[in-house]
Amino acid sequence: MNLRRLVSMIAAVSVVGFGAAGPAAASVDPRQAAMDVAVAAGNPGMLAVASDWRGTSGVGDVRTGAKPNPSGRFRIGSVSKTFVATLVLQQVAAGRIGLDEPIGKYLPGLLPYPEPITVRQLLQHRSGLPRDLAPQYTWTSVEELDTERFVHFDETEAIHDSTIQPLLFPPGTSFSYSNTGYNVLARLVEKVTGKRFERLLAEDITGPSHLWDTSLPRDFPLLLNPAAHGYEQAYPAPHGLTDVTAYNLSRYFGAGDMISSAPDLNRFFHALLGGRLLPPNLLAQMKATIPAVGPDGKYQGYDYGLGLMRIPLNAICGQDVAAWGHGGDIPGYNTWSMNTEDGARQITTMANQDLTPPIQAIGRRTLVFINEFCTPMIPQASEALVAPM
């Protein structure tokens, strides 16, 4: 999964991308206007569901021209990490896991490194584990986005093969976003509970919170009741977009294999940030963020807690405001599920092309959640606020 990073240039965009709303624009909801700008820039379609509003733009099916369905399901990519982190912290609360215990205590022999790596370091991407899976488990060409859609990848083999690579740094000394680390954490909760991940998810999160659209499909490739078809430009023009709605994402078992809907994600974060899924001390530790610094030493535009992102929007909004939640990138679907710190105000957005749209389309889809948390502004143009890692 090629998660995209917020770049530090977000701080320089405050005078670019927002213009004074004219009389005609004043009647348009700023979130809707932002989606329309993002679709005009090259995203096939988008949807957004906020606390007080929902909307769509563009198409959910390029063959029929049907609109996206704001209540439908989609693949949430790395937003899965917040669910995994919540399950881990629930087991910490139950006394089955120690946050500062080495992972080898629970999964002996899984990782080959002599250096002890703690559960907390895995949750906060400070483990030093390789950023992504081994090359045979990822996409080395855009064509593979199509040709590898139905390939099964064993979760444990993927961890073993990916950790043949050396550690990027001594554990705890730096930050590097690691999908492999979250595959390890999903195996951890299975080991300490003796339950399959999907059963634990249903018993401890989706059932109590009434998240009926949320699941971990493992190898099941079909997406039932899709919010929109997912697309990628897997082959050069004049070939059209390739439909990648059906996909086996078992390679990203804990890092990004989950399915949900925008209303479900809003309910999940409302419950989590509202204190209904974790005790106060563990929620506070989940929200204790550090700056996300890239391999080049530069700030990537967000802070990271234990499976939770904090995106400061001060430079754009001109006010002290931040968005809490997570973003997700997976073939066919880009997701942002963002909230105020207490979860009282929230918005989830989905665009149905993730890895291959024009760069301006990648940046402009973030304007939707920015317009939720800033004083409403109608976007007229935008520099890209995110860039590929």
Q: Which residues pair with 350 in a beta bridge?
A: 47, 335
Q: Which residues pair with 346 in a beta bridge?
A: 339
- pLDDT tens digit sequence for 79-138: 999 999 999 999 999 999 999 999 999 999 999 999 999 999 999 999 999 888 888 888
For this structure, is 78 an active site residue? yes
pLDDT at residue 23, rounded to an integer: 40
Question: How buried is 24 (Cβ within 10 angstroms: 0-12 exposed, 13-18 middle, 19+ buried)?
Answer: exposed
Q: In the chain, count H helices and then E strands.
A: 12, 16
Q: Which amino acid is at 32?
A: Q
Alpha helices in the chain (DSSP H): 30-40, 80-93, 119-123, 144-147, 155-162, 179-193, 197-201, 262-273, 280-286, 314-317, 359-364, 367-373
> Under a CB-based contact definition with an 8 Å cutoff, are residues 230 and 352 in contact?
yes
**Any idea how long the chain is?**
389
Computed over its alpha carbons, how large is the radius of gyration of the chain? 20
Q: Determine what percent of the chain is predicted with pLDDT higher than 70.
A: 90
379: helix, strand or coil: strand
Q: Which residues pair with 54 in a beta bridge?
A: 49
pLDDT at residue 66, rounded to an integer: 98
Of 302, 377, 325, whose CA–CA distance to 14 is shortest? 377
- Alpha-carbon torsion 341, 308, 327, 215, what sign? negative
Structure token pair of residue 214? 């949320």
Structure token pair of residue 122? 């895995």
Look at 74 and 29; give whichever has higher pLDDT.
74
Structure token pair of residue 259? 């399915």
Structure token pair of residue 21? 């709303």
Residue 312 C-alpha from the chain's centroid: 17
> Under a CB-based contact definition with an 8 Å cutoff, are residues 57 and 35 in contact?
yes
Structure token pair of residue 11? 């701080």
> Distances from the Cα of 250 to the Cαs of 87, 143, 154, 183, 232, in angstroms?
19, 19, 7, 10, 19
Q: pLDDT confidence of 319, banded at 50, 70, 90?
A: confident
Selecting among 8, 14, 78, 250, the annotated active-site residue is 78
Structure token pair of residue 197? 């991940």
3-state SS of the chain: helix, strand, coil percent to 5?
30, 20, 50
Q: How far apart are CA 134 and CA 348, in angstroms?
A: 31
Structure token pair of residue 117? 């790596």
- pLDDT tens digit sequence for 205-262: 999 999 999 999 999 999 999 999 999 999 998 899 999 999 999 999 999 999 999 9
User: Please, what is the average pLDDT of the chain?
Assistant: 89
Of 266, 226, 269, 264, whose CA–CA distance to 246 is shortest? 226
Q: pLDDT confidence of 294, banded at 50, 70, 90?
A: confident
Q: How far apart are CA 39 and CA 54, in angstroms?
A: 16
CA angle 113/115/119 to nearest 5° reads: 95
231: helix, strand or coil: strand
- pLDDT tens digit sequence for 137-185: 888 889 999 999 999 988 888 899 899 989 999 999 999 999 999 999 9
**Domains (range + CATH), the chain:** 5-387 (3.40.710.10)
Q: How far apart are CA 350 and CA 48, in angstroms?
A: 7
Please list, in sequence order, all residues whose beta carbon lies within 8 angstroms of the beta carbon of residue 53, skipping any fewer than 6 positions away: 29, 31
